[in-house]
Amino acid sequence: MRVVVDGVSVAIDDNPILNGVTLAVRSGGVTGLVGPNGSGKSTLLRCLYRALRPATGTVLIGPDEVWRSSARQVGRRVAVVTQDHDLDNDYSVRETVAMGRTPHQGLLDRESQADRDIARAALERVGMGWAGHRVFATLSGGERQRVLLARALTQQAPVLLLDEPTNHLDIGAQLELLELVRGLGLTTIAALHDLDHATAYCDQLVLLHRGRVIATGPPADVLSPDRVAAVFGVRGAIAPHPITGRPHFVTAPPA
């Protein structure tokens, strides 16, 4: 399912946060949102999952404008894993993952066997099948992150939004999660800090700087040494990976 953002601007307390952001994300690919701290990545994602209404501009998920759709309609099309872990409750892991079925259920519907099967399969898929009975808030940060991905998969939405999905994960789990996400075949948009992961796992990158899109395209085009120096203040280059031979981003402090 395509995602099209057209002229989206957001201001908070008169401070411009996003400024005329326009981009198109094709169906089924992985798009990385990259940019320095505070460049607007999370804010843009919030506009996509209907948590924040832009002052101007439109967001299309498939054929429908997000703010002309109900939260429930958007919930069937867009699943999201954010950094905000709600720990102020004692929901079990199983209950947390089952919440992903909400957009598919009527107000008075009870959880069906099919709902339970979908949730269980998602939990198994992220390697957390053993944790169903645990209280979500008692899990480690990395375990919680995987459970929230399972909840997103349980939503069975064609578009997956991820805000720093590898945060809290050890290096092996980071690569495992990125491989898993790539293999899902969903239209995925992920805010990523690690430019090497962005290079290795994304079909296209969107580089944000001070709320504006500076460049979009394949990682090797977007992360040119000049642009990386101008935006991040470091020396960076894409070179063949010594193990895989595939493009990989390497960085060095300023000369």
For ligand ATP, the binding residues (CB under 6 A) are 12, 17, 35, 37-43, 191
Least separation in angstroms between CB 200 and ligand ATP: 19
**Number of other CB atoms surrounding residue 183 within 10 Å:** 9
Least separation in angstroms between CB 13 and ligand ATP: 6
Count Cβ neighbours within 10 Å for each residue of 28-44 and write b for 16 or more, e otherwise. eebbbbbbeeebbbbbb
Cross-strand pairs, 18: 10
Answer yes or no: are the C-beta atoms of 234 and 252 closer than 8 Å. yes
Answer yes or no: are the C-beta atoms of 25 and 190 closer than 8 Å. no
Q: Which is nearer to ligand ATP, 56 or 112 (CB)?
A: 56
Report d(CA 10, CA 229) in Å as an integer. 27
**Number of other CB atoms surrounding residue 230 within 10 Å:** 11
Least separation in angstroms between CB 10 and ligand ATP: 8
Least separation in angstroms between CB 223 and ligand ATP: 16
Q: Which is nearer to ligand ATP, 35 or 100 (CB)?
A: 35
Q: Which is nearer to ligand ATP, 17 or 202 (CB)?
A: 17
Q: Which is nearer to ligand ATP, 50 or 104 (CB)?
A: 50
Least separation in angstroms between CB 244 and ligand ATP: 27
Q: Which is nearer to ligand ATP, 40 or 75 (CB)?
A: 40
Nearest to 41 by CA among 68, 23, 60: 23
